[in-house]
Amino acid sequence: MKRIGYLGPLGTFTHEAAVKHAGEECWELVDYPDIPELIHGVDRGEIEQAVVPMENSLEGTVNITVDMIIHEADVRICGELILPVAHCLLARHGVDISDLKVILSHPQALAQCRMFLRSTLGGGIKTLPATSTAAAARDVAAGLKEWGAIASKHAAGVYGLNIIRENIQGNYQNSTRFVVLSKEQREPTGCDKTSIVFSVDDKPGSLYHALKIFADSRINLTKIESRPMRTNLGEYLFVVDLEGHIRDGIVERALNRLAEQSKYFSVLGSYPRFMHR
């Protein structure tokens, strides 16, 4: 049976993303304690794939994921999926919202739900940080009656908790993009993305001329950001997502041109674009 890794414990958003990615296929899901170990699990051959968070619409890029793919592990991006982050107030069955005195969750989730906590539960409610929203749900399931957790609907199902309120995170859109890592390169599907990383000479116009290659080729860039090269202060790598597969003729020619004028160039992977249903 093939194995796919996720950032544990059971009930995390990464676990939910791994379940959705696996779908009806027969995968064994394996939890890892942190992102570095998860990515190294693929690199060492312990698992065939790993689902890792790449960026969040509120918090931005998950730097440890990007940096490890670039610098530390021989893995490829072979897929992506976007998961809405919707927080719920959870408690044990039979517990009413008026019974709650302590709310557990990850600090980011507590911050995102502070308006709900203040307006609905009042200023007297106590909040306690947890290592993850899933860990909060797990602790509430085994804890005291007056404890509640802020976590996902998925976590409620995993730990057998009652959903008291849904979508308590505020009025903004919150979603996380996950990528699937493996040692294999995906075949073209006709609706793909490619992620690359490159560096240019420290000269006026160098980055402009690099990006102009894509404009001249009419290739759409969906993301660009810089990351430290881990060499000298002020030296950067540019991480770019673009539409198309590396085996598409127009993309292949553009990347060959970019590679010729780059100090460093690498393809992180070509993979099917996530399509919202």
192-272 is classed in which CATH architecture?
2-Layer Sandwich (3.30)
2-84+175-182 homologous superfamily:
Periplasmic binding protein-like II (3.40.190.10)
Q: Does position 277 have pLDDT exceeding 70, yes or no?
A: no
Residue 216 contacts by C-beta under 8 Å, 6 or more apart in sequence? none
> 């997502």: which residue's tokens?
241
Enzyme catalytic residues: 176, 178
| Intrachain domains 2-84+175-182 and 88-165 with the same fold | yes
Q: What is the DSSP code (8-state) at residue 263?
A: S
User: pTM of the entire structure?
Assistant: 0.89
pLDDT recorded at residue 171 = 65
Mean pLDDT of the region 228-235: 83
143-160 pLDDT per residue, tens: 989 999 999 999 999 999
Tokens representing 133 are 């929203």
Q: Does position 219 have pLDDT exceeding 80, yes or no?
A: yes
Crossing angle of helices 249-260 and 206-216, rounded to 10°: 170
Topology of domain 88-165 in CATH is D-Maltodextrin-Binding Protein; domain 2 (3.40.190)
SS3 120: helix
